[in-house]
Structure 1
Amino acid sequence: MGPSARAIAEQASFQAFLHSYLQEIDPGHWLAASQHLHDPGSRFSGSWVCELPLNTQRARLAVDILYRSPVGRHRYGKVRQWLNGRHCWSDIEPFQAMCLLVRELYALSGGMVPELRKLRELEFLHRLTDSYGVMTRYLEQRRHDPRLLTNRFIDSEQSLLFGHATHPTPKSRQGMSEWQQTAYAPELGGRFRLHYFLVHQDYVEQDSDGPLPASTMAETLLNSGHASLNLPDNHALVPAHPLQAQWLLAQPSVLVAIEQGQIHPLGTLGPEFSATSSVRTVYSEQAEWMLKFSIPVKVTNSLRVNKAHELKAGVVMSRLIRQTGFAESEPGFRILQDPAYLTVSLPGQAESGFEVIFRNNPFTPGQDQGVISMAALAQDPMPGRNSRLMDLIEGLALNESRSMAAVSLDWFQHYLACAIGPALRLYDDHGIALEAHQQNSLLDIGGGYPRCYYYRDNQGYYLSETFRKQLTEQCPDLSETPELFYRDAMIRDRFCYYLIVNQVFSVIARFGLDGLIPESVLIRQFRQFLRCERTRLHGPARALVNLLLEDSRLPYKGNLLTRVHDVDELNAELEMAVYTSIANPLRGLAHAAPQPSFPAQAVGADHGAA
């Protein structure tokens, strides 16, 4: 009998937390397991041990390292604690170790009055416990579900039972009750109908880059579920997520509008939808569009709401990308556009809560096989099973009568050519950088090897200030969205983290963790790829490649530090998250100390919890 769902969730939670801690706070003191002082009867399983001081608690921890990753995605085993007063090591549970490290974090953090520090520590522990409990529930209900390993789009979207591999609270879902989890959490595979409101056109705000206005798109959406309404003149349908609708129907401004006859709640109608991995973006096989809603739920760091400027950004970027002709020059690199939005305008409110974004849906029946997120591809498998990537490479090696190492090398080269090269060229040629982290990145592996990359997220565009004149001439509407433009130095750091550290390094680590090919081989291959790309680059992407090849440190988004400082990065001024830096594994310096430690500051704009 294998480990329980709770035990799997505890170890996975510890993995994610300790990844963050070692990268952002303290890399620890590494020893060969044979050199570590331990009780003769309780040996470590791995070749390495990492010790972490708990100075304010007069103790330290020793973590068994089952796999040491050059890019920092280690695999951890058991944890032991040394208490100075007892002069001996004792085994402790992973969750207890996390709580001790949280206590140490807040004891070390400066710049906070004691009461605020204790309140933030309590909030952190609450989210940590919530994430652990939620993950346990998901595993109890889904761990044996065969859909976890299919390559159907929606199945892969709903397979992320462990969540963000380098986030300290990967499954924190504040604001969603237990019964709501069953219906609306992607991990539990629920299906639900949308709630519709009938709204007088004087209160409807919309825009579209397509042939249809957003209000007509909403009607078409309803009709795709073989339902239709005879709408009164001068009215429009506005769809809402059921969680969004529950919140809206409790808002005084909405209740006044209902009483005055400007808004009419119609209840749930139309086709059934399922949540994608982001929770608030929903998908139906029959619909031409996915829908991205505002919901009153905090997922990882942030309350998930659509801001007014994000509505406009989706439409404007759809127009801009079309004007650049990039899709024609790079047919294997596609951007899922958010070309329309619909909302209700209420007096005195920048956002009313009705905001909904329409996203193109190419994954209709017959087209929904073989496309999975990079997060699903890189995710750890259930105990005793293979990862998705392992199964994929094994199948290719068997079919081609080649070694798994040779196939892995070719697969990785296809991936770089498909996903990374075009992203660099988009920035270099057009000044457009993407927040291309694992969850925003989809890969078509229907033929085994990567053949098409998809990017999604209207919140994740960075436009270069040096390209402002050129881009605004191509798309004059950009004058309405000045918040999309950033300095190249900031873009370089964000692009480096999302595209390389978050995405590419996770793929490299997955190959290494699965024993398919040493990470060092892929790191060398990636360096060679970057050198080749550099010869073609003459714009801002060249500085990014120089950073990757030459600098000893790389920018790193501090999800743990963001959580410690209780920053809601989507609602903070300039959408700021805490950034630090890590040793650059492309330079072979994988275990240097992170910079800075405490106190850390929120630096620059950042759009998402990834």
Structure 2
Amino acid sequence: MGPSPRAIAEHASFQAFLHCYLREVDGGCWADNIDRVPSGGEDELRLETREASLAIEVRYRSLAGRHCVGRIWSWSSIHRHWQRLEPFRAIDLLVHELYARAVAMMPELRKSRELELRYRIIDSHRVMARYVETRRHDPRLMSDRFIDSEQSLLFGHVAHPTPKSRQGLADWQHPRYAPELAGGFPLHLFSVHQELVEQDSVAQGEATALEEALLKGALPELPAGHLPVPAHPLQAQWLLAQPAVNDAISRGEIRSLGELGPRFTATSSVRTLYNEDAAWMLKFSIPIRVTNSLRVNKAHELRAGLAMARLIERTGFTRTEPHFRFIQDPAYLTVRLPGLRESGFEAILRENPFPRGRDAGVISLAALTQEPLDGRSSRLQILIEGLAINEGRSLAAVSRDWFRHYLNCAIAPALRLYDTHGIALEAHQQNGLLDVAAGYPACFYYRDNQGYYLSQERRNALETLCPELTSSPELFYRDAMIRERFCYYLVINQLFSVIARFGQDGLLAESELLGMLRESLVRWQQHLRGLARPLLSQLLHDDCLPYKGNLLTRVHDVDELEAELEMAVYTFIANPIKVRQDVAIPESRHALA
């Protein structure tokens, strides 16, 4: 019969939390055997504020840091013996330890943040269990259709303490709006006087005209001088409760038309909507806090999407890199209301390269490397085993070739883009899609107009190439900061997840994959002479690499999308690419002040 959905979610929640804790707070003490603990290999964590310890069974120890864990035991000075512990009790003890160490935080603030984190952990676990229970036997979980793979992420971010936290989404709303439950709904339409509508586009046609085409004749006749403005139904509920919107309604400037038109469904981001017969996806603001942040479109992001579409085209990069593609956001529309920078109507039109008939075989790295349900194989393992059978070759030989294809279409071009043009990408697992329709990676797709970092050093050249960038100064960053973020998103978050998945599935040893990566970095270093060269040197020679601390970001209750420079809390981890593995991580970067 197998474990219950609750038990599956509890284990996945603990593994995600522990992944964060080991990387960001305390790596523990590794031992082949801890006295009186009946297991072969463990990591022991000291709970200093309780005079206690946790021992965690490690079923697979990953060089890339993505371990697979099993049973848990606790020891205390009171009981003076090891006893089995449930995963959620272990999380509870670690959360207490986190905040007990945060001595520089005011007591009331510390307690408030601790309660908030505990709530989000519980909410994430409860939501995850619901998704597992509903979808665990659904064959679409392993479908290679774009939208099916987008909606298959039952466990979420593998290195986040609250991977499925959905604050603001009521229980009854999940079946309709959560991508994991594959629901569908029409858009909510507003009729807005044209003087209030702001729109721009670098696509063929104005944003409102493109949006009208999505409605497929469902749009009723509008009052003279009015234009249609779509909204996510959840956002429409929020909008209709806002005083500024109600004032405009009372003046006849805005009318709510209700839900109209064809069925849309959520992609993995929750707020980007897809219809297989539409030329565009739609990215909305929603009043939901997903993992860390309230998901809203900012006014500057609307302009940045257009500027980046123009910039990428003018660099000629996609013409020289046929295996690397951008899913652009080339049009937007919103409503201007008095005294508001963002009204809540901000909507982005995103290209849809995966309509009906062209939607097979394109899968996000997050879906490709996701931990499988008990007794099943990961998507990557199924892919490699199928290729090995078809080609009559060993799993190891196919794995080596697959990994080389992946490096050449996903990693090398991203480094060349930064090296040549000073454009770095927030290319984490969810933002990166691979075309594996033929088995081997053939093309990489990057999405997210919020995930561009432009080099301050190249600012004059980039603004000369694309003068529209002068209205988006927030896109430019110092190169030291770019290297920090690029290293985390491209290498640690994305690339290391692929390496760990190969190792966990027994396809190819992580040590060999890291060796292949090291050889590629050395080879690329011979040709990359610009901005990427210091990053390659860092990856090859530095003892530690920068790491985004999702747990510490939560401990300090930072909303990245609202923070200055969208800064999360960063720390350091030992660099597994460098041959030497036994590097101590600086204690100062783990402080919980």
TM bucket by the smaller chain? over 0.9
Deviation at 1:521, TM superposition (A): 0.5
Residue type of the alignment partner of 1:22: L
What residue is the counterpart of 2:36 in the other structure? 38
What residue is the counterpart of 2:52 in the other structure? 59
* Distance in 1 (alpha carbons) for counterparts of 2:590 and 2:203: 48
1:285–1:433 distance in 2 versus 1, CA, 3 Å: same
Deviation at 1:298, TM superposition (A): 0.4
Contact 1:210 1:339 in 2 (8 A): yes
What residue is the counterpart of 2:20 in the other structure? 20
What residue is the counterpart of 2:540 in the other structure? 549
What residue is the counterpart of 2:226 in the other structure? 235
Contact 2:149 2:363 in 1 (8 A): yes
* Distance in 2 (alpha carbons) for counterparts of 1:394 and 1:236: 53
Deviation at 1:474, TM superposition (A): 0.8
Residue type of the alignment partner of 2:338: P
| 1:473 and 2:464 correspond | yes
Contact 2:419 2:531 in 1 (8 A): yes
Deviation sequence 1:535-594 (CA, Å, 0-9, x none): 110111111111000101000000000000000111122211100010000014556454
Residue type of the alignment partner of 1:96: R
* Distance in 1 (alpha carbons) for counterparts of 2:44 and 2:542: 27
Contact 1:60 1:81 in 2 (8 A): yes
Q: Secondary structure at the match of 1:76?
A: strand
Which consecutive unaligned segments of at least 5 residues does structure 1 have? Answer: 602-610
Matched pairs, number: 592
Contact 1:292 1:356 in 2 (8 A): yes
Deviation at 1:231, TM superposition (A): 3.2
What residue is the counterpart of 2:2 in the other structure? 2
* Distance in 2 (alpha carbons) for counterparts of 1:231 and 1:473: 42
What residue is the counterpart of 2:568 in the other structure? 577
What residue is the counterpart of 2:211 in the other structure? 218
Residue type of the alignment partner of 1:444: D
1:103–1:277 distance in 2 versus 1, CA, 3 Å: same
Matches within 5 A, 1:368-517: 368-517=359-508
Q: Secondary structure at the match of 1:453?
A: strand
User: Which residue among 589, 594, 599 is the counterpart of 2:591?
Assistant: 599
Deviation at 1:230, TM superposition (A): 2.8
* Distance in 1 (alpha carbons) for counterparts of 2:167 and 2:583: 35
* Distance in 2 (alpha carbons) for counterparts of 1:343 and 1:480: 18
Deviation sequence 1:171-209 (CA, Å, 0-9, x none): 000000011111100000001111010100110011111
- Sequence identity, in percent? 62
* Distance in 2 (alpha carbons) for counterparts of 1:571 and 1:187: 26
* Distance in 2 (alpha carbons) for counterparts of 1:599 and 1:556: 14
TM-score with structure 1 setting the length: 0.96
* Distance in 1 (alpha carbons) for counterparts of 2:275 and 2:539: 40
Q: Secondary structure at the match of 1:439?
A: coil
User: Which residue among 158, 171, 192 is the counterpart of 2:151?
Assistant: 158
User: Which residue among 344, 347, 357 is the counterpart of 2:338?
Assistant: 347
Contact 1:135 1:161 in 2 (8 A): yes
Residue type of the alignment partner of 1:24: E
Contact 1:435 1:460 in 2 (8 A): yes
What residue is the counterpart of 1:97 in the other structure? 90
| 1:203 and 2:222 correspond | no
Matches within 5 A, 1:74-89: 74-89=67-82
Q: Secondary structure at the match of 1:296?
A: coil
Matches within 5 A, 1:327-338: 327-338=318-329
* Distance in 2 (alpha carbons) for counterparts of 1:68 and 1:577: 27
1:594–1:242 distance in 2 versus 1, CA, 3 Å: farther
Q: Secondary structure at the match of 2:568?
A: strand
What residue is the counterpart of 2:273 in the other structure? 282
Contact 2:543 2:583 in 1 (8 A): no
Deviation sequence 1:253-289 (CA, Å, 0-9, x none): 1011001000000000111011000000010011111
Q: Secondary structure at the match of 1:577?
A: coil
Residue type of the alignment partner of 1:162: F
Residue type of the alignment partner of 2:9: A
| 1:291 and 2:282 correspond | yes
What residue is the counterpart of 2:140 in the other structure? 147
* Distance in 2 (alpha carbons) for counterparts of 1:127 and 1:256: 35
Q: Secondary structure at the match of 2:224?
A: coil
What residue is the counterpart of 1:131 in the other structure? 124
What residue is the counterpart of 2:108 in the other structure? 115
Residue type of the alignment partner of 1:497: Y
Contact 1:444 1:450 in 2 (8 A): yes
TM-score with structure 2 setting the length: 0.99
Matches within 5 A, 1:352-371: 352-371=343-362
* Distance in 2 (alpha carbons) for counterparts of 1:88 and 1:588: 38
* Distance in 2 (alpha carbons) for counterparts of 1:408 and 1:418: 15
* Distance in 1 (alpha carbons) for counterparts of 2:90 and 2:583: 23
Which consecutive unaligned segments of at least 5 residues does structure 2 have? Answer: none
Deviation sequence 1:137-169 (CA, Å, 0-9, x none): 000000111000011000000000000000011
